[in-house]
A and B are shown apart, each in its own frame.
Chain A
Amino acid sequence: MEMVNVKINNISVQVPSGSTVLEAAKLADVHIPTLCYMKNLTEIGACRVCLVEVKGNRTLVAACVFPVFEGMEVQTNTPQLRKSRKQTLELMVSDHNRQCLSCAKSGDCELQRLCTEYGVEETTFKGITHETKIDDSSPAFMRDNSKCVLCRRCISACTDMQSISVISANLRGFVTEIGCAFGEGLGDAPCVNCGQCIVVCPTGALMEKDDTAEVWNAINDPNKKVFVFAAPSIRVTIGEAFGMPVGTNATGKLAAAMKRLGFDGVFDMNLTADLTIMEEANELLDRVKNKGKLPMITSCSPGWVKFCEHYFPEFIDNLSSCKSPQQMFGALLKTFWAEKNNIDPKDIYVVSVIPCTAKKFEAIRDDQSAAGLPDVDAAITTRELARMIKAAAVDFVNLDDDVFDNPFESGSGAGQIFGATGGVMEAALRTASHWLDESFNVIEFSEVRGPSAIRFATYNVGGIEVKVAVASGLANARELLEKVKSGEVDCHFIEIMACPGGCINGGGQPFLPDSIRNNVDVVALRSKAIYDADKDLPVRKSHEHPDIKMLYDEFFEKPGSHKAHEILHTKYKERSLF
């Protein structure tokens, strides 16, 4: 690699030719503030916060896009630059909704942090502010353009990362606004609710729909039995909301904290991830043996399912008919659990804690009501649960570890890895391979694990060559599906997750500011925590879990039974693009 010599604040470094000033500064351990920039996503030099001085250059340049050259001398922290950055921020703030106290992003807001660092005053520029409306048409999230800084990170996430592009910059100049076509709401657009736009938004312009007030009301209602369960990935991310390092497994503290909120039962959703595997592996073998529609494609990621319905309706019959683990757990509580404990399902209020904004939409989909009532009453994200824990003044970090409630206190390792890309595939393979050939004794199918975007593997089990593929992130899913369509890829089973890296990087996970996202491989750290947790669990295959055996013995009879179909399976429908 060709290297060039540059000086950043008089520190000499050698950096690869073609690097930007920002990348070079990082190698010199010099921090340059940024706002619109997000590594590998938005590198457009729009916000002018990262301006630096280059010797010999007439004007200031944007460090995030300006390339280095041999002998370049850069200054990043002169009085002129500090003044310029402060003024840029003050101009942004002059047309910004400054009700920070009531903003859910307060404390996690990147604009707020920069303004504090540069001593920005709110009243320097008193100009007109542009009129905006709050878009709350989506069941998953809201857009408040009075807090938008036009960084376009959400557009990159929607267009480049997810290949959906339901938002663009509309109009021009001062009245430019990010939104859907014809000023319509996100709820009316072919948006899949993945929430990646929220994850990358530097301010509070994009937030999930907060359902915590409803959950508190249910908890405080003496006539309601309120049960809660946490998805596989929550335990490895929730610690971040309380200052713990990225990749911390906080399962014990999570169980303890949820118990302090006053729920009537605190369960582990890993168990219905196992239940999903029982049904899905059974469905796969059935399709393979009876010449059903192949490849079968997983259906636990509701962002992916809605994407399929809008953008690839020709694959709807390929989707597994299994409900997602969230919906299965709700269905289980309102049927099996209600029956067993003699509770009227109408008195049960089911809360799921999920890493995902699309699950809010999934909870209100048709055909997700096993007991004639919605399987899930409220789906709250990791962030919302963290907010509830904080509001209840629970000292999360110092809690003693606890366990989830019986009998759904833990799933298998296979259920645990649902939270990462490739996890559902691996979990299904652990069980399907056993059913095909009892002597096939592989636990870890490392070929299907991340981090590459699209992965293929072939396994020879019981005389069958099982060909599988995995993709995460919808642009990658699109690429894979196009190849299946053209016949270039031929396989039996495909796992798709809407968010890059899987649920661990879901749209409902704790906010991590650009200062972390640009410097740390968040997906790799969270993913490692998931696979480490799998290794530590006593049971690592879904079909070997005693609670799963109990559920089939006492209730469902066998995977794919009539009863299982009524309670644990669902249907999909084509959705329009316009």
Chain B
Amino acid sequence: MGVSTIEFKGTKEQENLLKEAIALNKDREGALMPVLQAAQNIYGYMPREVQQMVAEGMGVSLSEIYGVVTFYSQFHLQPKGKYKVHICMGTACYVKGAGKILERFEKELGIKDGECTADGKFSIDGLRCVGACGLAPVLSVNDDVYGKVTEDQVPDILANYKE
């Protein structure tokens, strides 16, 4: 919940794309979902500014939009980082300490699960089982996969992405 701490940097081009999506769907029944999906695709997340544009364009209250956006896990209130840290929280990984690893990432980066750092570099997301239980606990940073991770390795993993 809560407002994104990252400054909104939407472009005119993105705004026009969203307006097109609204114009295309406005008079259709059940139009809100396709418009919200379009907005999520255009901006990558659903900050207040985007939700307000949808509310104004669709003639729907901001509260109604927010209710829908927070109901579906496909919509994100926070942007994703340049490096997306995905930590498997499936049963096998969890019993082997994925919770502690997540906590360590949160501590190192100063953000919570689902959030993005202020410089837009890292985001953390806990995932359901990724199907690599043999490597538990497993995590990925963009396309790099790390298996049998321990809490102490977290700073070293992050160091790989500090330019």
Contact = CB atoms under 8 A, between A and B. Distances in A.
Given A170-B70, A578-B52, A165 B1 contact: no
Interface in A148-197: 159, 164-172, 180-183, 189
Contact of B70 (A166, A172, A578): A172
Contacts of A170: 1, 66-67, 70-71
B2 A168 contact: no
Contacts of B64: 159, 165, 168
B62 A578 contact: yes
A336 B60 CA distance: 47
Interface string B37-71: 00000000000100110011000111111110011
Contact of A167 (B56, B63, B70, B71): B63
Contact of A168 (B3, B48, B67): B67
Q: Which of A169, A181, A577 has the most CB of B within 10 A?
A: A181
Interface in A529-578: 577-578
A166 B67 CA distance: 10
A219 B146 CA distance: 72
Nearest to B1: A183
A183 B65 CA distance: 13
Contact of A182 (B48, B56, B71): B48
Given A169-B67, A170-B67, A172-B71, A164 B61 contact: yes
Given A170-B1, A578-B52, A180 B63 contact: yes
Nearest to B67: A168
A105 to B, nearest CB: 24
In terms of DSSP, what is the predominant structure of the interface of chain A? loop
Interface in B55-106: 55-56, 60-67, 70-71
Nearest to B52: A578
Contacts of B67: 168-170, 181
Contact of A171 (B52, B55, B71): B71
Contacts of B63: 165-168, 180-181, 189
Contacts of B55: 577-578
A171 B64 CA distance: 12
Nearest to A170: B70
Q: Which of B55, B62, B65 has the most CB of A within 10 A?
A: B62
Contacts of B48: 181-182
Nearest to A171: B70
A171 B71 CA distance: 5
Contacts, number: 50
Nearest to B71: A172
Contacts of B52: 578
Interface residues of A, number: 17
A166 B1 contact: no
A165 B68 CA distance: 13
A182 B61 CA distance: 13
Contacts of B61: 159, 164-166, 168
A170 B67 CA distance: 4
A318 to B, nearest CB: 22
Nearest to A163: B61
Q: Which of A159, A167, A168 has the most CB of B within 10 A?
A: A168
Contacts of A159: 61, 64
Nearest to A183: B1
Contacts of B70: 170-172
Interface in B1-34: 1-3
Contacts of B66: 168, 170, 180-182
A181 B1 contact: no
Q: Which of B56, B65, B66 has the most CB of A within 10 A?
A: B66
A478 B82 CA distance: 46
A182 B1 contact: yes
Contacts of A165: 60-61, 63-64
Contacts of A169: 67, 71
A159 B52 CA distance: 18
Contacts of A577: 55-56, 62
A181 B2 contact: no
A578 B3 CA distance: 14
A181 B51 contact: yes
Q: Which of B51, B63, B65, B71 has the most CB of A within 10 A?
A: B63
Nearest to A191: B63
Contacts of A189: 63
B65 A182 contact: no
A165 B55 CA distance: 12
Contacts of B71: 169-172
A423 to B, nearest CB: 30
Contacts of A164: 61
A167 B51 CA distance: 15
Nearest to A181: B66
Contacts of B65: 181
Contacts of A180: 63, 66
A164 B52 CA distance: 15
A170 B61 CA distance: 14
A284 B88 CA distance: 70
A347 B102 CA distance: 62
Contacts of B51: 181
A172 B71 CA distance: 5
A387 B106 CA distance: 50
A159 B67 CA distance: 13
Nearest to B51: A181
Given A168-B64, A168-B66, A181-B48, 14 more contacts: A159-B64, A165-B64, A166-B63, A168-B61, A170-B67, A172-B70, A180-B63, A181-B62, A181-B63, A182-B2, A182-B3, A183-B2, A189-B63, A577-B56
Interface of B: 1-3, 48, 51-52, 55-56, 60-67, 70-71
14 contacts: A165-B60, A167-B63, A168-B61, A168-B64, A171-B70, A171-B71, A180-B63, A181-B48, A181-B63, A182-B1, A183-B1, A578-B52, A578-B55, A578-B62
Per CB-CB distance, the 8 closest pairs between chain A and chain B, nearest first, are: A168-B67, A181-B66, A165-B61, A181-B62, A168-B63, A181-B63, A171-B70, A170-B70
